[in-house]
Structure 1
Amino acid sequence: MARAKILIVEDLASLAMAYAAQIEKAGHQPIVAYSAAAALSALGETPDFAAILLDLQLPDADGLDWLRANPAICESHPVIVATADGSLSRAIEAMRIGAFDFLVKPIAGTRLLSVLASAIELGKSASKAAPAGASRPAKKAKPGTFIGNSPQMQEIYRQIECVASSRATVFITGESGTGKEVCAEAIHGSSGRANGPFIALNCGAIPENLLESEIFGHLKGSFTGAVSDRVGAAQAAHKGTLFLDEICEMALPLQVKLLRFLQTGTVQRVGSNRVEEVDVRIVCATNRDPAREVAEGRFREDLFFRLAVVPLHMPPLRERSGDVRDLAEAFLQRFAREESKTFAPLGAAQLAALEHYRWPGNVRELQNVMRRAAVLHAGPDLPASAFPLTSDQMAPLSASMPALVVSQTPALGGQPTDVLAVVNAVKGLTLDELERIAIEAAIDNAGGSLPSAAKALGVSPSTLYRKRERWMAAS
């Protein structure tokens, strides 16, 4: 690693010298400032610091107030704040202001150097992407695969742009189907870790007794079925991003281990006594109300505060004015290509019906509706019956497989020919397509909960998880 200048802002000489010795041993050049005033002076004389290690308790200033009063510091340098364990909330506030990461005292040398290495790498990436004096574009393009230009989504794009360069953990909330994983992928893709792996793990789709192994890995023979050593998702995401979806489904004992992982940056595989360092950014999501989960004792408060450094809420589709038509057209054309069909643009009456619907299943439900329309109709024009949306509070389409199919057929008043109508409606669908429609319908009907959907279908949650992974990979 190239020699870099590191500014240490710490009023205790013993700590400052200890940090400096570790940094110098790693091949970098430490410069110590014992006060906020001295730090500003050092920044004025040497503006090319690769990173700043900042103690929040300084003799002449409060670290948070100092960062607020000098916003250019976080904009120009990765700032790592050091804090005592009892001041964790202040460290989290520093990251919301713009700090890169925080360390809790006493700081292990390996942890300090690991975080510094990531900060230096971020600084190099930023300097290459935006040369000194370069003007910032007035409007940033939509990140990731997002579709929609509503004011609500423009705010999401702004927030993603703000948090992408940070190492701060992001806690994404929102109803089922609003695009929380797409948001997590966009944060990863807009960050300095974009060239690293993005590992997604659904905490609600993996049996409780296997989740620890999925996250942290295991050694051969550590439990029944562990036939070989295995790297967990945390290590697989090294130098990248680990996305923990449905985080509120995680059992309390495992929450303790996750908290330790976040605090130390190390993992311990099941069956091992050795700890291993990893460098990952954590993004998590839930469709529940995390504050209620904490209040009712199902989610640890300390873990919540550690994860929710940057909270981000995905708006439901019904609140995204104007985005339904853009999404519907995009989905229809995408599925038309997959089915090797051609469809004309949606008519005004069809778009009006789609926009009037409240979409309780959000973007995922709209996606399923357009997929069904593309599968069940030859094109190029779609009939009015292609979108069987009811007008009374717009009941969700995801009820059960037979109901979905019958909704495509004329009401036959319970006559014996209903069965024949159902058979005719599904002609041309493969068994895999029918299975996918049934599973997605069950998941929507269960409010997005894979465990509940699996119970209703009589299969294990891991079965649904594997099938959805395969479908997503093929999309």
Structure 2
Amino acid sequence: MSSGPADLNSVRIAVVSSDPAFRRMINDQLADLLEEKLKQPCDIQMFDDKAPSSFLMEPACALITFEDEEELKVLSRLASRHPNMLLLALSENGSVSRAVASMQAGAHDFIARPVSADVLSSRMSEMIAHHRPAPHGDILVSSHKSAPKGHAGTNASNGTETFDRAIDAEIMRDFEGFIGTSSAMQGVYDQIMRIAGSKAPVFITGESGTGKEVCAQALHARSSRNSGPFIAINCSAIPADLMESEVFGHMRGAFTGANDDRKGAAELADGGTLFLDEIGEMPLDLQAKLLRLIQTGTLRRVGGNEEISLNIRFVAATNRDPLEEVRAGRFREDLFYRMHVLPIHLPPLRDRTGDIVPLAKSFLQQYAREEGKGFHIFSTEAEYMLTAYRWPGNVRQLQNTIRRLTVMYDGAVVEPDHLPDLLRSDESFEHDLNQAISDLRQMGKAMSESIQPFWQQEKQIIEGALSYFDGNISRAAAALEISPSTIYRKRMSWAQKETA
């Protein structure tokens, strides 16, 4: 594994392989070819027979060779812990079943070995270039400036206002990597826009898979620091004895294996944003050192005496209740209040059910294109199943579900049979369904005491179901054993009767 200082503009590549010949080929040939194709320096980290449980600092791309089930498990673990990382799987067994197994485990592509450095570098450069994020902000500003030309011959004021609203709706629909127009996410977008320009620390909370790193990247992209580095480090993935060096850097000879001076994540983030994911996993003694860095803006590398001044925007995240962690003594109270200046909470997917289908369609379009499949829409029944499921793994689980079906099946329309059995046996949904039915029966008994017109009783029953399921029409319709379109039609009918 490389231990030299990393260039801020370099493309970070991780190589996990127990094959020494493959590792030599990477060192001797691939690095130069890849730098030539990407027009950027590459920082290659090599892992041999001791594969990491996760990477300390997420690479842009990882090459992983696997020949047995244990190595396939390593591939799957790294894919699940680094969902934003490109993963290229390689194996001497070039069978179709081997390729499918790697894709199910989370690989973006599969290549049979042996493979030449030229072929490998070409495929890697294509993958990295294809997955670079589009500059949303520049596109939107350019479109906005051209608006008046598109409204020649119309009322200038009304035309501009209409176009502004259309642009605003587009921004809210696809906001800095987020997808969704639910009220919960609109609130998140508003918070991000309000606080992105501040220098104060941000503390993001939310369940696993809700998009905490996407939120941190959005804050960086919307800030005046967006031309500086965004450095993300996962505190839960770093062994306690290495964390101080990874965050604060070290001097040559500070400990065994420290052969060079090395910048830590904090120094690499100078002039930009440092994102500390799962900050509650940081040992208490390092929390004290982090607190000093936040307060003074200076640090000392491990084994060093020099005070290094830094200009960093701190963003932290956790999937736990931070106040409970403070009460339990696992998180310093002074650090919590120093970081918890601008809090943002990301809602779980079950609380933004209106965003499930748009997210699923976006993932379907992306993965169908990558896999060369014909999928482009979901059947109505498949959409109902997606919306009714509670998604305990949130957006990440939905993303992996859509990716799995695009690998395993093909066609124009995603049908219920393409979805995993898990979506058909949601125990929590069954509990909610039974409770809703019980409540509806009680409502029926109460209504029997005073006879009302049928449409009013029907309205009370349907609105009671909608209220129980927090306005989720698909789940209310499932509980009532009617079609969601029936609820829409009934609502229109009630409105006409009430205004008559």
What is the distance in 2 between the residues matched to 1:380 and 1:230?
A: 52
Pick the aligned partner of 1:150 from 175, 178, 182.
182
* CA deviation map 1:249-289 (0-9, x unaligned): 11101000000000110111111011101101000100000
What does residue range 235-254 of structure 1 map to in structure 2 within 5 Å?
235-254=267-286
What is the distance in 2 between the residues matched to 1:359 and 1:321?
A: 10
**Aligned residue for 1:357?**
389
Cα distance, 1:392 vs structure 2: 4.1
Cα distance, 1:383 vs structure 2: 3.8
**Aligned residue for 1:215?**
247
- The answer as to whether partners of 2:209 and 2:397 remain within 8 angstroms in 1 is yes
Pick the aligned partner of 2:426 from 393, 399, 420.
393
Question: How many corresponding residue pairs?
Answer: 266
- Fraction of identical pairs, as percent: 54
Pick the aligned partner of 2:354 from 300, 307, 322.
322
What is the distance in 2 between the residues matched to 1:269 and 1:328?
A: 45
1:286 aligns to 2:323 (yes or no): no
Pick the aligned partner of 2:257 from 200, 225, 229.
225
- The answer as to whether partners of 1:358 and 1:394 remain within 8 angstroms in 2 is no
TM-score under structure 2 length normalisation: 0.51
* CA deviation map 1:376-410 (0-9, x unaligned): 113333342221234443589xxxxxxxxxxxxxx
What amino acid is the match of 2:230? F
**Aligned residue for 1:428?**
none
What is the distance in 1 between the residues matched to 2:256 and 2:181?
A: 50
What amino acid is the match of 1:227? N
1:313 aligns to 2:348 (yes or no): no
What is the distance in 2 between the residues matched to 1:240 and 1:356?
A: 41
**Aligned residue for 2:290?**
258
What does residue range 77-88 of structure 1 map to in structure 2 within 5 Å?
none
What is the distance in 2 between the residues matched to 1:394 and 1:330?
A: 27
Pick the aligned partner of 1:379 from 390, 394, 411.
411
- The answer as to whether partners of 1:197 and 1:238 remain within 8 angstroms in 2 is yes
What is the distance in 2 between the residues matched to 1:385 and 1:204?
A: 37
Pick the aligned partner of 1:296 from 315, 328, 332.
328
- The answer as to whether partners of 2:206 and 2:345 remain within 8 angstroms in 1 is yes
What is the distance in 2 between the residues matched to 1:382 and 1:351?
A: 9
What is the distance in 2 between the residues matched to 1:289 and 1:333?
A: 35
- The answer as to whether partners of 1:221 and 1:227 remain within 8 angstroms in 2 is yes
* Secondary structure, counterpart of 2:325 in structure 1: helix
**Aligned residue for 1:123?**
none
Cα distance, 1:226 vs structure 2: 1.2
What amino acid is the match of 1:171? F
* Secondary structure, counterpart of 2:343 in structure 1: strand
What is the distance in 2 between the residues matched to 1:245 and 1:204?
A: 8
**Aligned residue for 2:372?**
340
- The answer as to whether partners of 1:144 and 1:186 remain within 8 angstroms in 2 is yes
Aligned-residue CA RMSD (Å):
2.5
- The answer as to whether partners of 1:175 and 1:288 remain within 8 angstroms in 2 is yes
- The answer as to whether partners of 2:378 and 2:415 remain within 8 angstroms in 1 is no
**Aligned residue for 1:182?**
214
What amino acid is the match of 1:311? P
What is the distance in 1 between the residues matched to 2:307 and 2:372?
A: 51
* CA deviation map 1:419-471 (0-9, x unaligned): xxxxxxxxxxxxxxxxxxxxxxxxxxxxxxxxxxxxxxxxxxxxxxxxxxxxx
* Secondary structure, counterpart of 2:276 in structure 1: strand
* CA deviation map 1:311-354 (0-9, x unaligned): 11000000003100000000011111221222131111101100
What is the distance in 2 between the residues matched to 1:390 and 1:330?
A: 19
User: Is the alpha carbon distance of 1:220 and 1:394 closer, same or farther for their aligned partners in structure 2, counting shifts above 3 Å?
Assistant: farther
What amino acid is the match of 1:386? H
* Secondary structure, counterpart of 2:413 in structure 1: coil
What does residue range 461-472 of structure 1 map to in structure 2 within 5 Å?
none
What is the distance in 1 between the residues matched to 2:385 and 2:353?
A: 14
* Secondary structure, counterpart of 1:365 in structure 2: helix
**Aligned residue for 1:331?**
363
Pick the aligned partner of 1:370 from 391, 396, 402.
402
What is the distance in 1 between the residues matched to 2:307 and 2:394?
A: 42
What amino acid is the match of 1:309? V
What amino acid is the match of 2:197? S
**Aligned residue for 1:269?**
301
- The answer as to whether partners of 1:199 and 1:241 remain within 8 angstroms in 2 is yes
* Secondary structure, counterpart of 2:386 in structure 1: helix
User: Is the alpha carbon distance of 1:345 and 1:394 closer, same or farther for their aligned partners in structure 2, counting shifts above 3 Å?
Assistant: farther
Going by fraction, where is helix more abundant, 1 or 2? 2
What amino acid is the match of 2:279? I
